[in-house]
Amino acid sequence: MGRIFIVILIFFMSCLANDIDSFEDEYSQSNSFDPLSGYNRVMTKFNHTLYQNLFVPTFKGYDYIMPDPAQDAISNFFDNLMFPIRLVNNLLQFKFVAAGEETLRFIANTIIGFGGISDVATNVYGLKRHDEDFGQTLGHWGIGSGFPIVLPVLGQTNLRDLVGMGGDFFINPLTYTNEAFSDDGHKYFHLNLAVKSWQLINDGSKDPELYNKLTSGAIDLYTFIKDGYEQRRNALIQE
């Protein structure tokens, strides 16, 4: 009887090991295509140095001089301004209820929230924000992520989301900052960069140590960031 039990146990352990091996093989195959691996690793180190020595100190300095209510108001303003990106991509994914709720949010925050500096849509009316971008839209319709790409300053992305950035660029109101504030957009091209930089710094200042918290325990920084990015993007696409 004991021998029979041992034989059965060995059989089940063997099946389990085969299942684990097949899963690992499938996972490694789906994540092994990384033709820019060498470049990506170098750029990840470059961005890491940039974050630790420039961005994080900038976030801390901004956080020190800017009161929390002002940071929240600025963040709310930019979030409200990004309404076209969320609306268009919800519509492209046929998420019409979400698109309708986004429209109501924009109206409430623009009119009652003093141009968006107060998020009354969430705090008063309980309207949820539905973050969607063109990369998520492509993923929603079955477009694969493609190979990983690390951009200077902007960081980790993939081929699909890089194309998505291009799509969102044309419906992002900040793209047209120059035209809105000057007659010659080419002459004052730095306005776009200044406004977008302000948005990124303000968002980063809300938790200046966030990057260090997320990467402090990473053994292989590039793999850690790449895998985390893909998992997060896949989760957002599935929502």
CA-to-CA separations, 31 to 44, 72, 155, 158, 230, in angstroms, rounded: 18, 38, 18, 12, 10
Helix (H, G, I), strand (E, B) or coil at 196: helix
pLDDT digits (tens, 9 = 90+) for 105-116: 999 999 999 999
pLDDT digits (tens, 9 = 90+) for 172-189: 999 888 776 666 655 556
Rounded-to-integer distance, Cα 121 and Cα 36, Å:
43
Rounded-to-integer distance, Cα 211 and Cα 156, Å:
13
**Residue 37, φ and ψ in degrees, nearest 5:** -55, -45
Whether the CB-CB separation of 233 and 139 falls below 8 Å is answered with yes
Q: What is the pLDDT along the chain (239 residues), one digit of tens a residue?
A: 444 434 333 443 444 344 434 434 434 444 579 999 999 999 999 999 999 999 999 999 999 999 999 999 999 999 999 999 999 999 999 999 999 999 999 999 999 999 999 999 999 999 999 999 999 999 999 999 999 999 999 999 999 999 999 999 999 999 888 776 666 655 556 778 889 999 999 999 999 999 999 999 899 999 999 999 999 999 999 98
* Side chain identity, residue 229: Y
Helix (H, G, I), strand (E, B) or coil at 133: coil
Mean pLDDT rounded to a whole number for the chain: 87
